Amino acid sequence: MVDDWPECSCELVVRGPWKSAHRLYNEQAFRYFLEFERQHARRHGRALLLVLMHLKGSSRCQGRVSETAAARIVTGLRECIRDVDFVGWYLNERVVGAVLTDYSSANSDGLKMIRLRLTLALGQRLSPGLDDATHLHMRLLPVVRK
């Protein structure tokens, strides 16, 4: 079964302030593991949650997430997710993604609680002086069982 998967230059991002503290996958690795988890969830009748975060409206970063902001986002995410969940670049240097595996609360109250928990953790990490918090855009996308 593993032989059916395309070759991947999957790796952890090794540069930046997060390198020693947290696992952050490159875009290809993140999308590879996301597809793997989608197929796994589908086979086992489970759901997962895709969390996407990017900075918007900041002319200073032109849509790119700085290493400092990315490190703070990853640190905040890591405080809120389990070890089996994973974080990486959904879109390299522009969109940080997290996958919450075996997600069981696809209802709106569950999503509100997760959004609140992430917002609080990230709000504490992002610097008001850099105005990052006002530019952070977060999407929670349940990948429902089929």
Tell me the CATH number at 101: 3.30.70.270
Number of domains, the chain: 1
Q: Output the pLDDT for position 20.
A: 47
Look at residue 24 in the predicted model and tell me its pLDDT: 85
Q: Report the mean per-residue pLDDT for the chain.
A: 77
Q: Is residue 7 part of a domain?
A: no
Query: Per the domain annotation, does 124 fall within a domain?
Result: yes
Task: Give the model's pLDDT for residue 136.
Answer: 82
Question: Can you give the pLDDT at residue 28?
Answer: 93
76, pLDDT greater than 80: yes
Does 11 fall in a domain? no
Please compute the mean of the pLDDT values over residues 54-83 and round it to a whole number.
Answer: 77
- Report yes or no on 49 lying in a domain: yes
6, part of any domain: no
Task: Domain of residue 121: give its range.
Answer: 21-143
Residue 56, judged by CB atoms within 10 A of its CB (0-12, 13-18, 19+), counts as exposed
At residue 145, the pLDDT reads 59
The answer to whether residue 126 is domain-embedded is: yes
3-state secondary structure of 100: strand
- Identify whether 110 is part of a domain: yes
Burial readout 89-121 (b: 16 or more C-beta within 10 A, e: otherwise): bbeebebbbbbbbebeeeeeeebeebeeebeeb
- Answer for the pair 55, 69: CB distance below 8 angstroms, yes or no: yes
Q: Please check whether residue 90 lies inside any domain of the structure.
A: yes
